[in-house]
Amino acid sequence: MEVEKLIQAVQELVGSQSPEEMQAVFQRHPDLLEESSIETLLSLAEGARNAGETETADALESMAGFLAQLSQGLAEGVASDEQGITQIDISPESSVPWARLARQYLSLRREEYLEQAIAEAQDFGEMEIVSMLEALQSTDIQTIDEYANRLFDNLMRSGRSEEGLTVGLVGLDMRAWLTEMFINFPPDQQGKALGVGLQACKQAVSLAKALGDEACQAFYMVMEGGGYARGRRMEEAEEAYREGLAIRRKLAQLQPQVYEPYVAGTLNNLGNVLRDLRRMEEAEEAYREGLELCRRNDTPVQMVKTLSGLGDLLMKQESWHEATEALNEAMEQVELLRAEVLGLDRRMQILRENVSVYERLLICLMKLERHLEAIEIAERGKGRTLNDLLTLRDLRPKNAPLETVQEYERLLVEARALEERLQRGDVLEAGAQGLPPKK
């Protein structure tokens, strides 16, 4: 396929606004899925990258990966036919409800949507689709791949484009999560794992765009931004977050009760990136807008994250009073979360997950010379890190009255004793049995 015709075909594909339009492009340009076309796109991408045109290179590589995935799915379907492997049995009629519900699950991560999707597929007798969705439910990557490749081919060839492209999204989802999980790989493999995750996100965005599903498009854009942020590629992270945020704002105008919490989460992520880029005013604006949405929608977990980020930002600016206010509110939210759960293990887990809130608040209080309040925070935190902070030379009371220093030392001893009993299990065991703790 000539380069000019290839570029024209790719532009038509990118401009597709529906599954039907995308299918029409492939019918007009069947050579798009040939290996030579994919190799040409990769070669063009390499040339663009060498010329410093990073965005063009990324776009070309993303399209090449997308076409390679489609080509692989079709090839595996043909191979199955030739080898006499049992083909996926799909009904001749469209069963779109399961696809819409599955995409709602992918974009919102609410289990009830996935359960409804499985039920809808069962009602239509689509047992292979049921198996794929159940594998998604249990994060069984091997089974997802097994069904997704064959289902995609059969559904697309049957003219059921919406369902076929939805299957494609499901197949990409586990790889997209590598943008978070890559840090668990050995150091020499992390870069490759992140690259696979970012590529999967880009391909998922392309499929979501073809489906006209803005919620999924925004989800994978934000996931891509998270991958860039964890890989310390902050400018690219900002761009991805802003694109996802723009779509989520639009969706929130139509369904605020559904999408405003997701806007708040994206604003928090954007604030973190802007803070790391040292664009403090923009970061604070993002945090405060997100905080307003958290309060309006009563989302305490997200509120803790946003207040913590805002507090960290204000500390970097040495705005100790404002930082103390933000972090104190974050701590109150943590305490409310702990009070709402019954299990002691879960309460301790919530504390461990948010220990940085206590640490930062303690530092702020000591910087403001509110020493006794700092000790109280340390007792509430009951963590070794907090008590260690209290012993740092620059955090001890300076030029304070003798009685304040003595009270500081006394409370510090009590906090350490309490921590030791906590580590032995005395406090938790006694509390569970309604007994006073051992002395």
Question: Considering only CA atoms, which of 33, 4, 164, 197 is closest in space to residue 90?
Answer: 164
| pLDDT of 32 higher than 90 | no
Q: How far apart are CA 207 and CA 168, in angstroms?
A: 7
Residue with the two structure tokens 């030579």: 36
Query: CB burial class (10 A; 0-12, 13-18, 19+) of residue 30?
Result: exposed
Q: What is the pLDDT of residue 386?
A: 47
Give the confidence band of 249 by pLDDT, cuts at 50, 70, 90. very high
Task: Using a pLDDT cut of 70, give the percent of the chain over it.
Answer: 75
Query: CB burial class (10 A; 0-12, 13-18, 19+) of residue 279?
Result: middle
Q: What is the pLDDT of residue 308?
A: 94
Q: What is the pLDDT of residue 363?
A: 87
Higher-scoring residue by pLDDT: 157, 254: 254
DSSP 8-state assignment for residue 87: P
Q: How far apart are CA 115 and CA 102, in angstroms?
A: 9
Question: Considering only CA atoms, which of 370, 382, 359 is closest in space to residue 312?
Answer: 359
Give the confidence band of 212 by pLDDT, cuts at 50, 70, 90. confident
What are the angstrom distances between the C-alpha of 372 and each of 41, 353, 357, 379, 409? 65, 25, 18, 11, 10
Higher-scoring residue by pLDDT: 425, 115: 115
Q: What is the pLDDT of residues 367-406, one digit of tens each?
A: 888 878 877 777 665 543 444 444 444 455 556 667 766 6
Q: How far apart are CA 242 and CA 282, in angstroms?
A: 13
Q: Averaging pLDDT over each range in 50-54, 63-67, 299-303, which range is the top one?
A: 299-303
Mean pLDDT in residue range 261-283: 96
Q: What is the pLDDT of residues 135-179, one digit of tens each?
A: 999 988 888 988 988 898 888 888 888 899 999 999 999 889 999
CB 291 within 8 A of CB 310: yes
| pLDDT of 194 higher than 60 | yes
Q: What is the pLDDT of residue 37?
A: 80
Q: For the stretch 118-152, what's the b/e string if a residue is b when 16 or more beta carbons lie within 10 angstroms of its beta carbon? A: bebbeebebebbbbbbbbbeeebeeebebbbbbbb
pTM of the full structure? 0.69
- The token duo for 240 is 């991805």
CB 52 within 8 A of CB 33: no
Question: Considering only CA atoms, which of 235, 79, 200, 88 is closest in space to residue 148?
Answer: 88
Q: Residue 267: how many CB atoms within 10 A of its CB?
A: 27
Q: What is the pLDDT of residue 60?
A: 75
Give the confidence band of 15 by pLDDT, cuts at 50, 70, 90. low
Give the confidence band of 88 by pLDDT, cuts at 50, 70, 90. very low
Q: Averaging pLDDT over each range in 132-136, 332-336, 361-365, which range is the top one?
A: 132-136
